[in-house]
Amino acid sequence: MADAIDDRPQTKRIFVNHVDAYSGKNISKFLSDCVVGSSLEEGEEGSEGEEDRGSDYIPPNKEGTYTIIGTLQNPANAKPDWVKEVVQYAAKEELADHLMECDIIIYDITEDPDQIDEASWACSALHAELEHFDNPKMFILLSSVMTWAKSKPLDPDDPEIPFTEDDYRRRKPHPNFKNHISAEKLVIKNGKTNKGKFVTYVVAAGLAFGMGESIFHFLFKAAWEGKSPALQVFGTGTNIVPTIHIKDLAGVLQNICDQRPKTRYIVAVDDSQNTLEEIVRAIASNLGNGKVKKLSKEDYDFLKHISSHLGDGKVKHVTKEEALLSKDLAQADFDQLLVNLRMEAMFVKESMRIMWIAETGMCENIDTVIREYKQSRGLLPMRACIMGPPAVGKTTIAKKLCEHYKLHHIKIKDVIDEAVENLKRLSARAEGEEEEEDDGKAQEAQELLDAIQESRENNNDRIEDQYIIRFYREKLRSMPCQNQGFILDGFPKTYEQTKELFAVDDEEEGEDEGGKVPSYHKGTMPEVVISLDAPDDFLKVRVMNLPEGQVAGTHNTEEGLTRRLTEFRNINREDETILNYFDELEIHPDHIDVSKDVSDDMKQTVDKLIKTMGEPRNYGPTPEELEEMERKATEERLKREAQEQEERERREAEEAAERARRQEEWAERLEEVRRQEQEVLEAQSTPLRNYLMKHVMPTLTQGLIEACKVRPDDPVDFMAEYLFKSNPQVD
């Protein structure tokens, strides 16, 4: 084997379809960091044992790693960093040319049904060019265990005997996976012609999980969001679901690429044999509220009826919404979750070297799987604390930030009311039939309620800090707050309250590295601390300007506000303040002077804090929220356009009126100028007329009379001579 290792090629080109989809992305990323032949060496497993990496991870430049060539499911997506070349083609012939340049071709048909025909065509096209291969080629079809879904038990008397690769000829597919088994048979057949040049494999993979999830994503998302009271289990939940971690599946493919095993049909599943209910309970307990809800028999029969007919053309009128109770659950995913198969990957166990991520399945490795899910999806909790004097706007700002980031708004009244209500509900069981099964929790709840009531009676209806802090600790450590995050609004108020609230439990001490006892609970400590500042006079004026309806029944009366401001200032004059507590932990508060915010509803302050806190770390808006946002945006746009049109028409009317006024004024002025010019001309012409009438006209008249009498040949010359001779000014 050592000689074979030394002679192995420095690199190989692997084609993987849809490198931007869940399976293709994780498999191609895994293989891009594997040295060719490394799975053949003892203790070298490529990158299986390395820590999880983000989606933007770029593999180091190792010598002899696999070179990845692939296609994109969505052509608009960018080329992944670990992919050497993305194949774009208009015709299948162009794709065939690229496949001929690759040493190994991996086609995944588990996610996109449209890829079944393409995979079958690709295998047949390569088989047709068998004689023109320059180097041996390998074709791996990544299929699903659903092609075994309707297989008869190996032993009717012992249905728990698992299927293995040796039984693949007896497999019977689920009705909706008949095309998958046809592709499997074609691939196996094409690999029998010339095994030296063209070898083919079929990998029947269990339901893949890990690295952000695909089939199980709707369960993880429902548990993370915590909107539903319980996760749903379809049917009885006792069906065995074959599974495998996506990186372990990639490890199986790596071994096939390196080994070229003689076994052509390989089952790739882990050792879990978990039921659907066990999987759902593991997700609910570690990511959600721990509650699991089974569907009613009527709902299950309805879904089972649809599952057995949809896709066979018998019930074409059934819509997707009618077929599935959950809009986040696709038909293919629904079929796979209801599969009931016991399978064992004998060849993988006996002949492959895999550094397993989750050999014992999802339930046994749920902590790792959930960590991968949060990291891959970017679902990291955001924790913040807003502090400041009374009436400074803590609640207004916290509410808007919670709406923007989809965080939980933690207010002292809500925390107390919720905790007391839960205690009352729990204590009510003491009188019921479940008293013996409750491990004394109902009695403990009743005793706590009695202690709280006594505390109120002795403290002017106020609850002691020890109970409030207990309620807060339970709230902040609940799954919803741990998943999405929270914003603390106005509590804690003192240094001692803060220290106690974020202190670690006794059983948690000493867990951090190096043996140093952690000084605070890392899962509840705020990442961002905001201190809203404002002078007392500003706050008093703000409260005085509030509507009476907002002030009535609150502490914001003149006397109440003055008292609360005095208490706040006295508490924060001490050396041990809340701000000092966070400073000591190097969580430096952001100070914001709200007296400088002149915007409505403190929008300027909110926008500033959004820039400080960064981008949201959650799923973003739901389709319903996007639709509502689009509706509001459309309404605002139409309203804005109507206002702009109205303003435009008003301006045009004003401009038209102004033009008419100016034209009228100009005409009046022009007429006045003409009148004045006429008067000036008339005034200037009077002396000239008088002169002409006295000195010129008499002589001119006499000359015309003489001309009429004489009738000269040239009247003009005659008149000129006459006027010259008769000019009274000439002696």
Q: Which among 374, 400, 428 is the end of a domain?
A: 374
At which residue do the structure tokens 């039939």 appear? 433
Share of the chain above pLDDT 90, in %: 51
Other beta carbons less than 10 A from residue 369's beta carbon: 26
Are 138 and 282 in the same domain?
yes
In a domain, 476, yes or no: yes
Phi-psi category of residue 681: left, alpha or beta, with phi > 0 → left and psi -120 to 50 → alpha: alpha
In a domain, 175, yes or no: yes
Report DSSP state, residue 351: H
CA distances to 343, 365, 456, 539, 612 from 281, rounded to whole Å, are 22, 13, 40, 51, 38
| Residue 521 pLDDT | 87
pLDDT band at 627 (very low <50, low <70, confident <90, very high): confident
**654, pLDDT greater than 50:** yes
The answer to whether 337 touches 324, Cβ cutoff 8 Å, is no
632-656 mean pLDDT? 91
Share of the chain above pLDDT 70, in %: 85
CATH number for the domain that contains residue 510: 3.40.50.300
The answer to whether 149 touches 176, Cβ cutoff 8 Å, is no
| Residue 46 pLDDT | 43
Report DSSP state, residue 65: B
| Residue 510 pLDDT | 47
The answer to whether 142 touches 28, Cβ cutoff 8 Å, is no
Are 367 and 251 in the same domain?
yes
In a domain, 731, yes or no: no
Residue 138 φ then ψ, to 5°: -125, 135
591-608 mean pLDDT? 90
| Residue 551 pLDDT | 64
Least confident of 25-39, 66-80, 515-529, 609-623: 515-529
CATH number for the domain that contains residue 106: 3.40.50.720
| Residue 508 pLDDT | 55
| Residue 3 pLDDT | 44
Are 558 and 649 in the same domain?
no
Are 347 and 454 in the same domain?
no
Are 635 and 604 in the same domain?
no
Are 559 and 649 in the same domain?
no
217-238 mean pLDDT? 84
pLDDT tens digits, one per residue of 14-65? 999 999 999 999 999 999 999 998 888 765 444 444 444 443 444 445 678 9
What does pLDDT average to over the chain? 84
Between residues 310 and 166, the one the model is more confident about: 166
**607, pLDDT greater than 60:** yes
pLDDT band at 295 (very low <50, low <70, confident <90, very high): low
User: Would you list the DSSP string of 107-171?
Assistant: EE-SS-THHHHHHHHHHHHHHHTGGG-SS-EEEEEEEEGGGGTTPPPS-TT-TTPPB-GGGGGG-
The answer to whether 219 touches 283, Cβ cutoff 8 Å, is yes
In a domain, 280, yes or no: yes
**233, pLDDT greater than 70:** yes
In a domain, 475, yes or no: yes
In a domain, 690, yes or no: yes
**The total number of structural domains that make up the chain:** 3
pLDDT band at 245 (very low <50, low <70, confident <90, very high): very high
Least confident of 66-70, 263-267, 708-712: 708-712
Between residues 688 and 368, the one the model is more confident about: 368
In a domain, 464, yes or no: yes
Measured in whole angstroms, how far is the alpha carbon of residue 731 from the centre of its chain? 117
Are 417 and 350 in the same domain?
no
**4, pLDDT greater than 90:** no
In a domain, 555, yes or no: yes
The answer to whether 313 touches 275, Cβ cutoff 8 Å, is no
Q: Which among 565, 588, 613 is the end of a domain?
A: 613
| Residue 314 pLDDT | 32
pLDDT tens digits, one per residue of 323-379? 355 666 777 888 898 899 999 999 999 999 999 999 999 999 999 999 999 999 999
Are 509 and 464 in the same domain?
yes
How far is residue 154's CA from residue 150's CA, in Å, rounded to a whole number?
12
Are 187 and 240 in the same domain?
yes
| Residue 692 pLDDT | 81
125-140 mean pLDDT? 93
Q: Which among 374, 405, 434 is the end of a domain?
A: 374
Are 580 and 681 in the same domain?
no
652-676 mean pLDDT? 92
Report DSSP state, residue 653: H
pLDDT band at 306 (very low <50, low <70, confident <90, very high): very low
Are 366 and 410 in the same domain?
no
pLDDT band at 1 (very low <50, low <70, confident <90, very high): very low
Are 107 and 168 in the same domain?
yes
**547, pLDDT greater than 70:** yes
Between residues 518 and 215, the one the model is more confident about: 215
Q: Is the peptide bond between 715 and the residue preceding it cis, with omega within 30 degrees of 0?
A: no
| Residue 197 pLDDT | 92
| Residue 724 pLDDT | 82
Residue 423 φ then ψ, to 5°: -65, -40
316-328 mean pLDDT? 44
pLDDT band at 516 (very low <50, low <70, confident <90, very high): very low
Pairing, β 292-294 against β 231-233: parallel
**478, pLDDT greater than 70:** yes
At which residue do the structure tokens 């639709």 appear? 627
Domain that holds residue 182: 2-374
